[in-house]
Structure 1
Amino acid sequence: MFKTRQLLGKYRIERKLADGGFASVFQAFDTIEGIHVALKVPHAGHVTDKTLSDFRREVRLLSRLEHPNILSLKDASFIDGHFVIVYPLGERTLSDRLRSRMSIANILDLTDQMLDAAAYAHSEKIIHCDIKPENMLLFPGHTLKLTDFGIAKIAQKTVRGAGTGTIGYMAPEQAMGKPSFRSDVFSLGLIVYRMISGVWPEYPYDWPGPGISRVRKRVTPEFVDFLKRSTDPRPRARYRDAIHMQNVFRRVRGGVFKKNQTKFTPGKTSMRARAA
């Protein structure tokens, strides 16, 4: 869509970061503020009244959410005929980070942050519907921020979807067009399981998942039960929302830390002090 060093308003394009179903994301340099940013731009072939309406909806949704673990919005406007959404630029995605091993301390810290973000969204009656490592950005200070609420649903008495989301991260009922808060819980549980086990559970989901022996070596039985309930294929068997899930996580994580604290090497990144 754009060439390197091409100017889009005040933004100088540096490189493409990702391609999505409806938009591309670019790294750019803000020539006025002197900072690097991320630009989300809809594909030209998908720029319709409905697409633009969806992006406007995402902007308005993000403007409601003020949380340290949810990616903030810098700007949204038409530039040179393109609808452009501007975000702060992260260092990498959680998906990138998962390519290398993580200590239990880091896993617990990142889990706490992602659950904090999802619990806040759920408290605002918003279902994300596409929670996955690619939609979690890492910033300096080991800070995680949840992003891409483009297909989020506003929870009502009856929530009707169309199977939106990403296959492999999606709860079974969401694939059938029936997303709920419990669907986000399922996706979060899969990510935590992946961080601990090093293996991504595949559909059809069943317990125990691949890599369970590694999970049992690294965490306590209480934490294993937490993961099992989070990823249960039956919606009603899961935690009712991320708020409930977070409360249980904060109750069982202490035992995991104590179990592993003797394994940590001095000088490695330790778990940040976070309010429980």
Structure 2
Amino acid sequence: MAPSLRIFNEESESPKLLRVGTRLDKYRIVSRLGEGGFATVYAAYDTIEDRRVALKIPESRYLENSQTIDDLQREVRIMARLNHQGILRLKDARFVDGHFVMVFPMGEETLADRITRRIARSTAVDYALQMIDAVAYAHEQRILHRDIKPENFILFDNKLIQLTDFGLARIQTTAKHVSASGTLGFMAPEQAMGHPGYRSDVFSLGLVIYRLLSGELPDYPFEAPLPGYQKLRKGLSSDFVALIRKAIDPVPSRRFRDAVAMQNAVSRIRYPLSDRSVSQQLGRPVTVSRLSQRRAA
């Protein structure tokens, strides 16, 4: 049986006060990036590897709760098993000076930050293709994310975008009722009722893509015409627009059954942009694995 994080935490000392300049082993905190749920994210400097990193550190008071420890351990083990260019890599995870520290590569900004500024249509579609590919990979590994939203996609150089924050993720085995965890505005209606599944991840992903390409986020229950729909259609092929509409269908059975099926569908769209010459220049064509083809809807 794998050891519990509680075993390692028992021998840790009193938590060190965290502020700019604080050293946690080889990491020096540079600034506070934000907080959400029960953890705070810091920008830090790795003094050994000479590079910037992001530290996700849960509040110490939560570490006294056995459920929080179990959730952290699950998140670490899920992220450790994921190896994909579209998923943020977990570099390190351990107790340091009384704090549980998760270390990640440092990106430039979140998608939530980026969509506040103008984005070239081809770049936005490229991001969408990468996001679909990343979630499809997670679903292939039977990982249900449950909190897909713009804040959980991190941008890097060369227009690379990566999915992160698997704090609510679960290994999908059998359907069962769970708490209605997620983010309002991006949560599928059935997930809000405590019944998340691959189709609810597809719904959230579809809404992120809709927001990216239209500048608007429809409120559920959706009413026609959807806000920003004309802007969504601008420069996109009708097939790609139809794919997005299918992903955000309020009725789960009418969506793609998982992101793998969504990936297969988008791979059959030869020209996602109405300008075919630009479509052909997209730098990251979606790669469909044999497993994906077997699971296509």
Scaled to the shorter chain, the TM-score interval is: over 0.9
**Conserved 8 A contact 1:206-1:233:** no
Number of residue pairs matched by the alignment: 269
**RMSD of aligned Cα (Å):** 1.7
CA distance in 2, matches of 1:263, 1:129: 33
Kindly indicate whether residue 153 of structure 2 is the aligned counterpart of residue 169 of structure 1: no
Question: Scaled by the length of structure 2, what TM-score is found?
Answer: 0.86
SS of aligned partner of 1:141: helix
SS of aligned partner of 1:255: coil
1:94-145 CA distance string (max 9 Å, x none): 1111011222211221111111110011011111000011100111111111
Superposed, 1:131-170 pairs within 5 Å as 131-170=148-187
Kindly indicate whether residue 52 of structure 2 is the aligned counterpart of residue 36 of structure 1: yes
CA distance in 2, matches of 1:165, 1:249: 26
1:39-65 CA distance string (max 9 Å, x none): 111112322222122111111111111
Kindly indicate whether residue 134 of structure 2 is the aligned counterpart of residue 117 of structure 1: yes
Could you tell which deviates more after superposition, 152-161 or 170-179?
152-161
**Conserved 8 A contact 2:129-2:284:** no
CA distance in 1, matches of 2:266, 2:223: 21
| Partner in structure 1 of residue 12 of structure 2 | none
Question: Scaled by the length of structure 1, what TM-score is found?
Answer: 0.92
| Partner in structure 1 of residue 92 of structure 2 | 75
Pick closer, same or farther for the CA change 1:84–1:273 going to 2, 3 Å: closer
Q: Which of 248, 251, 272 is matched with 2:283 structurally?
A: 272
1:58-94 CA distance string (max 9 Å, x none): 1111111111111111111110011111111111111
| Partner in structure 1 of residue 35 of structure 2 | 19
For residue 25 of structure 1, report the CA deviation from its aligned partner. 0.5
Kindly indicate whether residue 208 of structure 2 is the aligned counterpart of residue 191 of structure 1: yes
SS of aligned partner of 1:256: coil
Gaps of 5+ in 2: 1-16, 288-297
Kindly indicate whether residue 260 of structure 2 is the aligned counterpart of residue 249 of structure 1: no
**Conserved 8 A contact 1:130-1:166:** yes
Kindly indicate whether residue 134 of structure 2 is the aligned counterpart of residue 101 of structure 1: no
| Partner in structure 2 of residue 86 of structure 1 | 103
Runs of 4+ in structure 1 over 4 Å off: 261-264
